[in-house]
């Protein structure tokens, strides 16, 4: 591929990690522009995948319930000037992930075969560093710092806030696959682009990754607990709070003992299928009750 126009998200390994193993992202073109911002060494050293980094709490802590799945529509990181609509990126038959178009106005993309932002797991976003005519959408990604805020608006009209925890810069051949695509017990965000130095015939030498966690204030609200039932009023036939005792109706007409009552079987709701206890055919002796419930319609696959 001529002069760094390789736009490959190379994947190895099995499954995501059963399905995705990302080793390098080459989505920068470099046409003699100023070098992109990069995280300082102290910030890089604390990022996942580096020797001095602490274990990732989202992969070792207690599971945190996230939001239902919903497609992300817009991503905003205002401190570094990132505002972008989002397109879907998919895993291709050759084991690579699509990357967005390389125009300066091209949006970033969401890896749609992974989780959506707000679900428990790693939601991954990929954007170009530069384009033939200008800087691209994620040019300033390396300028982000821990504590910065990222907002993602979803198709369900929710807007979730994420807080940057770390920013790392990695040699292409040492891409932190597990830290980016690996499982997480909490909702997290990963933003990825190119970085480092541009070499003709090779492309950019590094990848920049931003790691962010969902702000606790954006977690879904805990379902409300139903209030305790009100005690029932006392009745003439029994003590207060006993719902099984019902006073006799003084206006009721006594039943005629010479007339045999008609009994209709009541439907029983079981496993979302209405079942009825079949009465015996007329003029025949009823077989012993086996307790077998018979569905109204035969089950279907």
d(CA 167, CA 59): 18
d(CA 230, CA 243): 12
pLDDT at 186 over 60: yes
Q: Show the tokens assigned to 115.
A: 């989780």
Question: What confidence category does residue 43 fall into, taking pLDDT thresholds of 50, 70 and 90?
Answer: confident
Q: Contact, 286 vs 277, CB < 8 A?
A: no
Higher pLDDT, 65 or 184: 184
SS3 43: helix
| pLDDT recorded at residue 265 | 43
Average predicted confidence (pLDDT) for the chain: 74
Higher pLDDT, 199 or 73: 73
Question: What confidence category does residue 64 fall into, taking pLDDT thresholds of 50, 70 and 90?
Answer: confident
Extents of the domains making up the chain: 2-57+70-218
For the segment 102-158, what is each residue's pLDDT rounded down to a tens digit? 888 999 999 999 999 999 999 999 999 998 888 999 999 999 999 999 999 999 999
d(CA 190, CA 208): 10
Degrees to nearest 5, angle at CA 187 with 209 and 54? 55
Please give the sequence-ordered ranges of beta strands (E in DSSP) within the chain, or none if there are none: 9-11, 22-25, 72-77, 82-89, 108-111, 121-126, 149-154, 159-171, 187-199, 203-214, 268-270, 273-276, 294-295
d(CA 37, CA 97): 25
Q: Contact, 33 vs 139, CB < 8 A?
A: no
Question: What confidence category does residue 221 fall into, taking pLDDT thresholds of 50, 70 and 90?
Answer: confident
For the segment 228-283, what is each residue's pLDDT rounded down to a tens digit? 555 555 544 444 444 444 455 556 555 565 655 554 444 434 333 333 444 545 55
| pLDDT recorded at residue 270 | 36
Question: What confidence category does residue 187 fall into, taking pLDDT thresholds of 50, 70 and 90?
Answer: very high
Q: Show the tokens assigned to 136.
A: 């691209």
d(CA 105, CA 107): 6
pLDDT at 167 over 80: yes
Per-residue DSSP letter, 18: B
Degrees to nearest 5, angle at CA 279 with 276 and 282? 150
For the segment 10-27, what is each residue's pLDDT rounded down to a tens digit? 333 334 454 444 434 545
Nearest CA to 198 out of 101, 129, 150 is that of 129
Q: Contact, 126 vs 193, CB < 8 A?
A: yes
For the domain spanning 2-57+70-218, the CATH number is: 2.40.260.10
| pLDDT recorded at residue 298 | 39
Kindly give the pairing relationship between strand 82-89 and strand 108-111.
parallel
In the chain, the percentage of residues whose pLDDT exceeds 70 is 58
| pLDDT recorded at residue 293 | 41
Q: Show the tokens assigned to 278.
A: 């079949």
| pLDDT recorded at residue 72 | 98
Q: Which segment, 13-27, 49-63, 81-95, 277-291, is predicted with the most confidence on average?
A: 81-95
Q: What is the DSSP string of 39-64?
A: --HHHHHTSTTSTTPPPPHHHHS---
């Amino acid at each position: 591929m001529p002069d760094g126009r390789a736009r490959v998200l190379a994947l190895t390994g099995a499954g995501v990690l059963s399905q995705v193993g990302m080793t390098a992202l080459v989505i920068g073109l470099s046409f003699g522009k100023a070098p992109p911002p990069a995280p300082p060494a102290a910030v890089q050293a604390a990022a996942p995948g580096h020797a001095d980094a602490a274990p990732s709490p989202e992969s070792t802590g207690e599971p945190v319930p996230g939001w239902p799945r919903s497609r992300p529509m817009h991503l905003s990181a205002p401190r570094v000037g990132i505002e972008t609509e989002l397109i879907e990126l998919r895993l291709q038959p050759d084991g690579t992930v699509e990357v967005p178009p390389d125009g300066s106005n091209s949006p970033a993309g969401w890896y749609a075969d992974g989780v959506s932002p707000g679900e428990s797991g790693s939601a991954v976003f990929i954007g170009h560093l530069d384009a033939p005519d200008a800087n691209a959408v994620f040019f300033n990604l390396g300028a982000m710092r821990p504590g910065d805020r990222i907002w993602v608006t979803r198709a369900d009209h929710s807007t979730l806030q994420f807080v940057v925890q770390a920013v790392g810069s990695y040699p292409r051949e040492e891409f932190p696959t597990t830290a980016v695509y690996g499982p997480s017990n909490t909702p997290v965000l990963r933003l990825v682009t190119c970085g480092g130095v541009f070499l003709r015939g090779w492309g950019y030498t590094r990848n920049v990754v931003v790691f962010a966690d969902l702000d606790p204030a954006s977690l879904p609200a805990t379902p409300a607990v139903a209030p305790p039932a009100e005690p029932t009023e006392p009745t003439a036939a029994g003590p207060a709070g006993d719902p099984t005792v019902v006073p006799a109706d003084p206006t009721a007409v006594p039943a005629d003992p010479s007339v045999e009552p008609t009994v209709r079987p009541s439907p029983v709701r079981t496993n979302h299928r209405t079942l009825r206890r079949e009465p015996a055919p007329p003029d025949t002796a009823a077989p012993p009750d086996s307790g077998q419930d018979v569905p109204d319609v035969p089950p279907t696959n």
